[in-house]
């Protein structure tokens, strides 16, 4: 590689034409103002439609963009001091994400200030610039994936609206006559979730596959709806349960759209473990899939456990089978843990896709991170499939089953 003194120094601001400076500055201002105006109009529309949860989620997005902007500004301001931190060539040769030819460390990270001391820079100005671009791309993908999960979840929940409408029909009221006696094992809800499904060990396998095929059926929705109303409202209430879980999901969206400190720590740990030879970015791409499948299986298991509890309670029931909402069905008796795992899955998936796009679009990184193009394509396909599974199946299932906790979200009213 050629020495740095073979290339002419970059132009400084005084050496740049004033029209070029003004043009770039004007474009940045116009784009920023248009974005701010669009977000303001969107927030006004949310408030007008009484979408308070979505309005708060929008404020979180604004805060996220502001945080990313501040990080970028901080990296830009401190890039000279950071690049002036000198470390030994030996320290610069360990834990690299890519293989480099022997003796290439000095030529790649050469800095005149550090070279005088026989050392190399901690990070060059170029690598710092690439880092703050990656942080911006990560934030954009996380927000985009959050919007996608909300859109697909609402699309899935539209099919439940007709079930909610049926609860006002005479046919539904007759089928659920509170004076009617039936054997518990003959009810549709118990028959669907027991039988072979009640066998220890087997039911976990059934729950695993059920999340992919008819994860929520009409009888599931109506039974969980009846249990929720019986536990928290009047038995004869005309409560719109579908509207409630839709607003509850919007309330959870406020959590999903943000990047909390634990998630930033996950990103830092992933970058730290990105070492040549251990394939961190390959095996870690399967972790979101494993987490999401465990979450989906657990949610299906909760429905099955409620059906088993109904059968154990009595052999004959009066009226429709009624489940009893309780936190005991959830991990550590905390329904919010399920949302945390979904949030973690979404962020980790966004991290993988952001890293792929960043490395492909940045000159010099594609050869390093995509030596096996087939493996890279496989990770992209896996990420897209995971996003669909999370958005269209797991998150709507969570929005329904989480209502079976001990408490209801009174704040969304």
Sign of CA dihedral 343, 348, 353, 359: positive
CA 61 to CA 69: how far, in whole Å? 12
Give the residue with greater pLDDT, 49 vs 410: 49
CA 254 to CA 59: how far, in whole Å? 9
Q: Residues 6 or more apart from 107 whose CB is under 8 A from it?
A: 1, 3
Per-residue pLDDT averaged across 226-252, rounded? 83
User: Predicted confidence band at 7 (pLDDT cuts at 50, 70, 90)?
Assistant: very low
What pLDDT is stored for residue 45 in this prediction? 86
Per-residue pLDDT averaged across 191-206, rounded? 76
What pLDDT is stored for residue 296 in this prediction? 92
pLDDT digits (tens, 9 = 90+) for 289-322: 999 999 999 999 998 888 888 888 777 777 677 7
| pLDDT over threshold 60, residue 105 | no
377: tokens are 């394509």
Per-residue pLDDT averaged across 402-410, rounded? 81
What pLDDT is stored for residue 19 in this prediction? 81
What pLDDT is stored for residue 375 in this prediction? 81
What pLDDT is stored for residue 109 in this prediction? 45
| pLDDT over threshold 50, residue 107 | no
CA 292 to CA 289: how far, in whole Å? 5
| pLDDT over threshold 60, residue 28 | yes
Q: Residues 6 or more apart from 396 whose CB is under 8 A from it?
A: 153, 156, 157, 216, 249
Rounded (5°) CA angle 235-238-239: 90
45: tokens are 């529309």
| pLDDT over threshold 70, residue 49 | yes
74: tokens are 């901080």
Q: Cα–Cα distances in Å, from 27 out to 23, 32, 33, 67, 382?
A: 6, 9, 10, 22, 37
- Per-position DSSP letters for 220-264, written without gaps between them: HHHHHHHHHHHHHS-TT----HHHHHHHHHHHHHHHHTS--HHHH
Per-residue pLDDT averaged across 250-277, rounded? 84
Q: What is the mean pLDDT of the chain?
A: 81
CA 264 to CA 71: how far, in whole Å? 12
- Which residues make beta-bridge pairs with 121? 86
Long-range contacts, 385-390 (Cβ 8 Å, 24+): 386/288, 386/289, 386/292, 386/345, 386/349, 387/145, 387/148, 387/149, 387/349, 388/152, 389/292, 389/296, 390/149, 390/292, 390/342, 390/345, 390/346, 390/349
Give the residue with greater pLDDT, 117 vs 331: 331
Q: What kind and span of H or E run contains 201?
A: none
Give the residue with greater pLDDT, 375 vs 196: 375
Q: What kind and span of H or E run contains 87?
A: strand 86-87
User: Predicted confidence band at 374 (pLDDT cuts at 50, 70, 90)?
Assistant: confident
What pLDDT is stored for residue 294 in this prediction? 93
Q: Which range (178-182, 327-331, 372-376, 403-407) has the least confidence?
A: 178-182
pLDDT digits (tens, 9 = 90+) for 131-170: 888 888 888 888 888 888 888 988 998 889 988 888 877 7
C-alpha torsion angle, residues 182, 183, 188, 193 (rounded to 10): 150
281: tokens are 């970015």
Q: Where are the domains of the chain?
A: 13-92+109-123, 137-404
- Per-position DSSP letters for 256-283, written without gaps between them: HTS--HHHHHHHHHHHHT--TTT-HHHH
Q: Which range (9-13, 239-243, 393-397) has the least confidence?
A: 9-13
Q: Over pLDDT 90: what percentage of the chain?
A: 8
Q: Which range (39-48, 145-154, 195-204) has the least confidence?
A: 195-204
**Ramachandran angles phi, psi of 183, nearest 5°:** -70, 140
Per-residue pLDDT averaged across 319-347, rounded? 86
State the first-to-last Cα distance of the chain, in angstroms, to the nearest integer: 65
Give the residue with greater pLDDT, 125 vs 356: 356
CB burial class (10 A; 0-12, 13-18, 19+) of residue 133? middle
User: Predicted confidence band at 272 (pLDDT cuts at 50, 70, 90)?
Assistant: confident
What pLDDT is stored for residue 192 in this prediction? 81
Kindly report the length of the chain.
Answer: 413
CA 320 to CA 181: how far, in whole Å? 9
| pLDDT over threshold 60, residue 77 | yes
Q: Which range (194-198, 204-208, 339-343) has the least confidence?
A: 194-198
């Amino acid at each position: 590689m050629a020495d740095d003194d073979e290339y002419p120094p970059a132009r400084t601001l005084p050496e740049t034409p004033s029209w070029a400076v003004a043009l770039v500055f004007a474009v940045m201002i116009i784009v920023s103002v248009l974005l701010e105006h669009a977000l303001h109009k969107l927030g006004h529309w949310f408030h007008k439609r009484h979408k308070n949860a979505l309005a708060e989620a929008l404020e979180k997005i604004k805060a996220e963009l502001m945080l990313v902007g501040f990080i970028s500004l901080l990296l830009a301001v401190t890039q000279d001091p950071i690049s002036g931190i000198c470390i030994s060539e030996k320290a610069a040769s360990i834990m690299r994400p890519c293989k480099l030819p022997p003796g290439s460390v000095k030529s790649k990270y050469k800095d005149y200030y550090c070279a005088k001391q026989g050392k190399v820079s901690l990070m060059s100005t170029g690598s710092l610039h690439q880092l703050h671009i990656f942080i911006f791309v990560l934030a954009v993908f996380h927000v985009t994936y959050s919007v996608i999960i909300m859109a697909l979840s609402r699309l899935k929940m539209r099919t439940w609206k007709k079930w909610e409408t049926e609860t006002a029909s005479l046919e539904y009221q007759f089928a659920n006559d509170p004076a009617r006696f039936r054997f518990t094992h003959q009810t549709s809800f118990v028959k669907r979730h027991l039988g072979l499904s009640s066998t220890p060990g087997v039911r976990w396998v059934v729950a695993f596959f059920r999340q992919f095929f008819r994860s929520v059926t009409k009888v599931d929705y109506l039974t969980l709806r009846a249990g929720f109303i019986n536990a928290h409202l009047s038995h004869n209430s005309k409560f719109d349960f579908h509207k409630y879980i839709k607003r509850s999901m919007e309330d959870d969206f406020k959590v999903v759209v943000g990047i909390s400190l634990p998630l930033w720590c996950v990103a830092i740990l992933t970058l730290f473990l990105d070492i040549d030879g251990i394939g961190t970015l390959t095996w870690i791409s399967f972790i979101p899939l494993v987490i999401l499948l465990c979450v989906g299986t657990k949610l299906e298991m909760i429905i099955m456990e409620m059906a088993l509890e109904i059968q154990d309670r009595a052999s004959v029931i009066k009226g429709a089978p009624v489940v009893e909402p309780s936190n005991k069905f959830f991990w550590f008796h905390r329904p919010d843990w399920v949302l945390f795992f979904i949030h973690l899955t979404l962020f980790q998936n966004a991290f993988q896709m952001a890293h792929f796009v960043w490395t492909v679009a940045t000159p010099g990184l594609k050869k390093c991170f995509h030596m096996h193009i087939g493996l890279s394509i496989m990770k992209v396909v896996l990420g897209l499939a995971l996003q669909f599974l999370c958005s269209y199946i797991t998150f709507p299932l969570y929005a329904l089953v989480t209502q079976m906790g001990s408490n209801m979200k009174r704040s969304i009213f």
